[in-house]
Amino acid sequence: MSDTPYDEHFVSWFRAVTPYINAFRGRTFVIAFGGKAVASEFAKTLAYDVNLLVSLGIRLVLVHGARPQIEEELREKQLESKYHRGYRVTDAETLDCVLDAVGSVYLEIEAMLSQGLPNTPMANSRIRVIGGNFITGQPIGVLDGIDMQYAGKVRKVDVEGINAQLGLGNIVLLNCEGPSPTGEIFNLQMEEAAEAVAIAIKADKLVYLTDSRGVTDNGGELLDAMTADEASQLLRDADWLSTDIMRYLPCSVRASRAGVGRVHLIGFEQDGALLRELFTHDGVGTVVTRESLENIREAKPDDIAALIALIEPIEQEGILVHRPRELLEREIDHFSIMLHDGIIVGCAALYPHSEDEAELACLAVAPDQREWGYGEQLMRRIERRARKMGIKRLFVLTTRTEHWFVERGFKQGTVDDLPAAKRDMYNYQRRSKVLFKTL
């Protein structure tokens, strides 16, 4: 078989997603979506993507809503749909409509996830979908003098029960009904139910499939990442946010402050949005995190395998000098690493040669993560570490990246300017350029 560009694209794509596959295996995700997504033409492909996530070993809880379907039931019975402060005022007749609508949406989702037709991504899949009384509800009570009746909020989540099902590899499918110990059923808000479940089971990710493509700024530009503090500031100031984002964003802020690693808001109307958000660097929607997604820290012995995976291909190209694993194990303290969403995307090392002189070495950023400024951030980190140690001058040896360093304040020098020990080890075959920077 010949290597067509398609094959090359496929192979490099597959390799690019491998770190995500490894990072996500055994993680717990909660995915929440409204009844609009279930009724849409995208429901089938979403089911395929959910199936793929489970196949990759992700523990999955789905939480669904049914607003349009409830509205439809109410219309058919000529009942009025009433909301107060975002909650449906739910009298006994409305509750009947809620139960009918939610019940049939649940069955629809179950049927979609049970497909196994050949020639579809669901072929050979055998996912067990488990529902149940995992959420206990309680009445909201009287709000501003209005009796909300069967409108409820989450009282308790059966964490043990959910974990037992996830441990068996089953998908847990929850809806927006919360039975109470008194035998009544309360109508919950889907987004609040998902928030409560994600917090209770300590989910790594909570994903809201929204009508909008994510959170936007006042010019309509997508905001791809924000911290919980930035999101709550936006909720105070922004009058341009759509109604669905106004519903999802407060839940996202609370969930991420309560320890859910990442909360994603992504439009369900983009084919493959779920996969693109989860398995690519840029994603397609908005991610809310407690801290910033990017994170630089000093390397630890646990990072060695990922560090080797990062630098080995660059060593093979002859750009970096080969460092055997034993050497890395001995010298791991010299390294700083850059992480994006928990995945190592770059590294750099600092080797002091005397009291005031040190080498910046092994600066590398994964090829598909370049030009995001990671290289520069790593260089600055090394400079900061060096200054703290009282280093006055940094040097670097490079065969192909001279200009990159020169543009960042390094000046050309000669081998003779190197500290004696380094000079003696200089490899005249590599003929690296020698560059210096005064700190």
Ligand X SMILES: CC(C)(COP(=O)(O)OP(=O)(O)OC[C@H]1O[C@@H](n2cnc3c(N)ncnc32)[C@H](O)[C@@H]1OP(=O)(O)O)[C@@H](O)C(=O)NCCC(=O)NCCS
* Contact residues for ligand X, defined by CB under 6 A: 314, 319-320, 361-365, 370-376, 396, 398, 400-401, 403-404
| Single-letter code of the amino acid located at 240 | W
Beta strand 357-365 with 343-352 is antiparallel
- The partner residues of 137 in beta bridges, in order of sequence, read 154
For residue 97, the surrounding DSSP H or E stretch is helix 92-113
Measured CA distances, 249 to 167, 282, 294, 327 (Å): 30, 20, 21, 47
Contact 266, 213 (CB under 8 A): yes
In the block, which residue shows the tokens 């989910």? 203
Among 172, 146, 132, 129, CA closest to 29: 172
Cα gap 232→250, rounded to integer Å? 7
Tell me how far, at minimum, the Cβ of 33 lies from ligand X, in Å.
36
Tell me how far, at minimum, the Cβ of 393 lies from ligand X, in Å.
17
Tell me how far, at minimum, the Cβ of 426 lies from ligand X, in Å.
15
By beta-carbon proximity to ligand X, the closer residue of 247 and 323 is 323
By beta-carbon proximity to ligand X, the closer residue of 272 and 413 is 413
Tell me how far, at minimum, the Cβ of 305 lies from ligand X, in Å.
19
By beta-carbon proximity to ligand X, the closer residue of 228 and 365 is 365
Secondary structure (3-state) at 149:
strand
Cα gap 192→248, rounded to integer Å? 8
Cα gap 143→146, rounded to integer Å? 5
Cα gap 141→153, rounded to integer Å? 10
By beta-carbon proximity to ligand X, the closer residue of 81 and 401 is 401
By beta-carbon proximity to ligand X, the closer residue of 176 and 361 is 361
Tell me how far, at minimum, the Cβ of 171 lies from ligand X, in Å.
38
Tell me how far, at minimum, the Cβ of 391 lies from ligand X, in Å.
17
By beta-carbon proximity to ligand X, the closer residue of 128 and 411 is 411
Tell me how far, at minimum, the Cβ of 265 lies from ligand X, in Å.
27
Give the distance, in angstroms, between the CA of residue 199 and the centroid of all CA atoms in the same chain. Answer: 16
By beta-carbon proximity to ligand X, the closer residue of 306 and 362 is 362
By beta-carbon proximity to ligand X, the closer residue of 231 and 364 is 364
By beta-carbon proximity to ligand X, the closer residue of 243 and 412 is 412
Q: How many CB atoms lie within 10 A of CB 329?
A: 10
Contact 123, 117 (CB under 8 A): yes
Residues contacting 390, CB < 8 A, separation 6+: 355, 356
Tell me how far, at minimum, the Cβ of 392 lies from ligand X, in Å.
20
Contact 358, 351 (CB under 8 A): yes
By beta-carbon proximity to ligand X, the closer residue of 153 and 437 is 437
Beta strand 129-130 with 171-174 is parallel
Closest residue to ligand X, judged by C-beta, is 375
Cα gap 80→71, rounded to integer Å? 9
Cα gap 10→4, rounded to integer Å? 10
- The partner residues of 207 in beta bridges, in order of sequence, read 31, 264
Tell me how far, at minimum, the Cβ of 315 lies from ligand X, in Å.
10
Tell me how far, at minimum, the Cβ of 434 lies from ligand X, in Å.
12
